[in-house]
Structure 1
């Protein structure tokens, strides 16, 4: 009888302990692009699978939509409303160091840019501590931005005075240098702005011809050799959520983040650009590559932008020249 009671007691004890032993943490990811966008269709789900496998099922992920505007994603994660998110640095002027990857004429794939960006951030740019308040788990850049307009361009001067949606960051500095009338609004609003006449054109990567259906509203695309500019994004996580995991699971989550996540995202930006180009051609979009003379003129116009960034980076305690040179060297030899 005593033996039976002991067995029952042990079983009851295991019953009480079991929920703790097998507790599953759900990591809620906030996202703001359409569900069909590659970030939501491929990048986050793939990373989520890596996390689940690395933690042996103890941490799973779930994507949530419309929790906040793209501009408020950082605060959303910092304050614990969401556990993770991706942000575009250009939406906030606090980011200076991150503009290193955005400079015109990098001339590489998004994958190469993203891997180089992560490595250079860890070596140089992290000193600026621009993601304080959250944990940085990855960095990425979209592919080379292109000029998308409602009317054909013969020269850069044709952009002067046109209402062009600019993204923030270096993309906005490009617009200012080219004399456009800047239209500032988040990416999900660009189709409406173009279709309603609020904007005459837009600076964004080729992928948006498909992902944001811009092939329907901007029939002319001008490609700047080397890239008009690139666009910086970060993957961020709530620090308290990460700290609340076991040491083993924290290490597991970080093992599938960093450069691995950055590379995955870069690969998908490239795939999206390929799909966007195909969609543009199918829709009959007129695609033109700027001439060598126009490219040379553009680089001359943009030289002060790079010089200005170097000055601001140095003021932030970063060796801007070394960071930019190394980023370009890694990306171009990738």
Structure 2
């Protein structure tokens, strides 16, 4: 080999090595509204990752419904490598043990959420790992309260009314007070409210009520449970990254997840004020409703876990021990 050939060969090897380190990822989020705290946070993550890695890890974020991926299939799409990086709110179908965190009345404050989340994190990591996915972090919505088309002053007013829920656990809560639970996609909610298919929803002021408030004249500020999203990556794509890029992505998500949560908390009050100014009647929690709901739900937590298996019993107990419940 001539000296010139050796130089060219070495240059080719170096260029190839550099190219191997660069990664162009496809990102996806369930939210289709670019102005939400969730989407804005995901956009910050992609921008910070590109800047921190000098463009070696570039993530193109796609909003909900812009790719042919159902909301309930996002985690599976990440595991299958259809997308490399995503935020998923509807992940409990793929990692059902995560629903421990969403059990009605189990977690009743931001402080309790943080404690319970720490206890659940090992189970979350394992659950996503089984799907071929790396769990990086997440963020939380404000507490889910009750928005209705009918006048509501306490939980007994749910009797005989049809309420849209996003999980079987929320459905159990509604049915415990005589209501009917119906599961619908978010896109179906407005027309279903107009037609009387449903008469209310469980959501947050800064969540679904931000879009559906015009159909919901009443908000009963009874906190049923929290909803949360996870931020995840395809395991093979993540492991192919250089260690420093893996660490950068983890660190950025760990900072932005709480920032998204905080933005939602601030927006919750802003949206409540807007909704009330627009004519929504906001009713504070009635005395005795929390005790009544807790009495209804405590036995259900145990039955729910035992029905699903030993790992669920263990995870629930870990959370209850951490919370002192």
Same fold (TM over 0.5): yes
Gaps of at least 5 residues in structure 1 are 330-334
Instruction: Give the alignment partner of residue 246 of structure 2, picking from 250, 254, 259.
Output: 250
- Counterpart position of 1:273: 268
Is the CA contact (8 Å cut-off) linking 1:30 and 1:86 kept in structure 2?
yes
How far is the alpha carbon of 1:16 from its aligned partner? 7.2
Deviation string, structure 1 residues 31-79 (Cα, Å, up to 9, x no partner)? 22222222112x2012223322442331122211322121111121111
- Counterpart position of 2:149: 150
Q: 1:14 to 1:93 in 2, by over 3 A?
A: closer
Q: Bigger CA drift: 92-101 or 137-146? A: 92-101
How far is the alpha carbon of 1:201 from its aligned partner? 0.5
Is the CA contact (8 Å cut-off) linking 1:83 and 1:237 kept in structure 2?
yes
- Counterpart position of 1:51: 49
Q: Which protein, 1 or 2, shows the higher relative CO under an 8 Å CA cutoff with sep ≥ 6?
A: 1
Is the CA contact (8 Å cut-off) linking 1:145 and 1:229 kept in structure 2?
yes
Matched ranges for 1:225-244 at <5 A: 227-244=223-240
TM-score by length of 2: 0.84
Q: Distance in 1 between matches of 2:178 and 2:94?
A: 20
- Counterpart position of 2:140: 141
Is the CA contact (8 Å cut-off) linking 1:97 and 1:313 kept in structure 2?
no
Q: Bigger CA drift: 70-79 or 20-29? A: 20-29
> Root-mean-square deviation (CA), in Å?
3.0
How far is the alpha carbon of 1:161 from its aligned partner? 2.3
Q: 1:115 to 1:10 in 2, by over 3 A?
A: farther
| Pairs aligned (count) | 316
Gaps of at least 5 residues in structure 2 are none
Moved over 3 A (4+): 5-20, 112-118, 259-262, 309-314
Q: 1:46 to 1:120 in 2, by over 3 A?
A: farther
Is the CA contact (8 Å cut-off) linking 1:115 and 1:262 kept in structure 2?
no
- Residues 1:86 and 2:87 aligned together: yes
Q: 1:155 to 1:253 in 2, by over 3 A?
A: closer
Which secondary structure state, in structure 2, belongs to the residue aligned with residue 221 of structure 1? strand
Q: Distance in 1 between matches of 2:119 and 2:256?
A: 15
Which secondary structure state, in structure 1, belongs to the residue aligned with residue 224 of structure 2? coil
Q: Distance in 2 between matches of 1:9 and 1:90?
A: 52
How far is the alpha carbon of 1:6 from its aligned partner? 6.1
TM-score by length of 1: 0.82
Q: Distance in 1 between matches of 2:26 and 2:116?
A: 26
Q: Distance in 2 between matches of 1:171 and 1:30?
A: 26
Deviation string, structure 1 residues 2-46 (Cα, Å, up to 9, x no partner)? xxx9679847864774465266422211122222222112x2012
